[in-house]
Chains A and B, each alone.
Chain A
Amino acid sequence: MKSNSRSFKAVDLLYILMMILPIVAAIVIKVLTNPLSEGIDIAGADIYFTLQMPIHNLPITESQVNSAFVMISILGLCLFLTHGICSGKLTARHHIAEWIVEKVKAIVDGNMGAYFSGFAPFVTAILALSALSSLLSLFGLYPPTSDVNIVGGWAILVFILITYYKMKCGPIQYIKDMSDPVLLMPLNLISEVATPISMAFRHYGNVLSGAVISVLVATGLQGLSSMLLGFLPGFLGDIPFLQIGLPAILSIYFDVFSGCLQAYIFAMLTMLYIANGFPAEEYEKRKLKKTKKLVGGN
């Protein structure tokens, strides 16, 4: 397909819409369900509706809906960046896509070793989902990462992966590693369980604390400006002039820097935990034994 043909441009437009429309839809849903309220309050995610389930009702919250929208948006971004990619002439977006892939591959290879080089897509997915979820708060939406349920889900996924790679040499070896000195077995068990909890709490605590501090500072500035201008008559006294711009400085740190840093740290810890949990030497020995057995049998 020619890059300047009409159909190419139409597909491009479709992908761009696929990137932007989910965010707009999330904003529209939020505005429709939340009537504008006076003042600022700190609350958890809104429950949009509840699904009737046999054991426990399943509430569909703002954070779940928002994270699903972010996933659609990331899918659109990927399709847009790789649209019309070929070995010939590369445009700017293809260079961006290649840069992302090469960068993540280098990070994964450097931190996890060659055996885990297939982990690059997974790590990129976690990185992109986490970073863009945290950046949603720039649009005034509820960031899904400040909900422990979302981040806890990711942490449990990572925990399953860690345990899978620890059990690569069989469950007996896993238990043997766990109870190396037998007395330390309960401690090892606790530290095993603490891994997903600490990962989830680290990410969600950072984002949530940023949101809470931002709200507190904004409310404080509102009170301060009404104290300074309160003597003026009419609406002049109600203008919260200190609220203009000052909370944005905090937002740069808490929303942009901290969100991206936490995404990076979550991805980094995922890589380190999985790579460190994998008993590489033992696995090599086992593999060698197996191949010897096979050769001997034949």
Chain B
Amino acid sequence: MLEIAVAIILGCCALGAGTAMIAGIGPGIGEGNAVAKACEAIGRQPECKGEVTTTMLMGCAIAETTGLYALVIAILLIFVAPNIFIDILMSTIG
């Protein structure tokens, strides 16, 4: 019975981590849009390539934040949460 409980905890943590990383779609689309527009801008005005590139990298980094929140949650779910949940389980069983 205990094995099943631990297995459910581990499996649900892995499922949760995988589901959390669906958030990676958003930054992907957003950064793709940003880079596409930057390419257009450079094509139109090649002389301001440096400035456009720096601004684009800044914007990409900020757009990445939501994806990184999801990543942090996924990492916590994989590496930190199982131990805590198993500790709680053990303490409730006694």
> Interface on A for B, CB 8 Å cutoff?
42, 44, 198, 201-202, 205-206, 208-209, 212, 261-262, 264-265, 268
Contacts and interface: CB of A to CB of B under 8 A. Distances in A.
A198 B68 CA distance: 9
Interface in B45-72: 57-58, 61-62, 64-65, 68-69, 71-72
Interface of B: 57-58, 61-62, 64-65, 68-69, 71-72, 75, 79
Given A42-B79, A212-B75, A205 B68 contact: yes
A261 B61 contact: yes
Nearest to A199: B65
Contacts, number: 30
Contacts of A202: 61-62, 64-65, 68
Given A208-B75, A209-B71, A201 B57 contact: no
Nearest to A208: B75
B72 A205 contact: yes
A208 B80 CA distance: 15
11 contacts: A42-B79, A201-B65, A201-B68, A202-B64, A206-B64, A209-B68, A212-B75, A261-B57, A262-B61, A264-B57, A268-B58
A206 B57 contact: no
Q: Shortest 8 CB-CB distances between A and B: which pairs?
A: A205-B68, A265-B61, A205-B71, A198-B65, A202-B65, A209-B71, A205-B72, A201-B68
Nearest to A44: B79
A44 B58 CA distance: 28
- DSSP majority for the A interface? helix
Contacts of B58: 265, 268
Contacts of B68: 201-202, 205-206, 209
Given A198-B65, A201-B65, A202-B64, A265 B75 contact: no
Most buried by B among A42, A44, A202, A264: A202
Nearest to A268: B58
A93 B83 CA distance: 52
A130 B79 CA distance: 25
A209 B72 CA distance: 9
B72 A201 contact: yes
Nearest to A148: B72
A204 B65 CA distance: 11
Given A201-B72, A202-B68, A265-B58, 11 more contacts: A198-B65, A201-B68, A202-B61, A202-B62, A205-B72, A206-B64, A208-B75, A209-B68, A261-B61, A264-B57, A265-B61
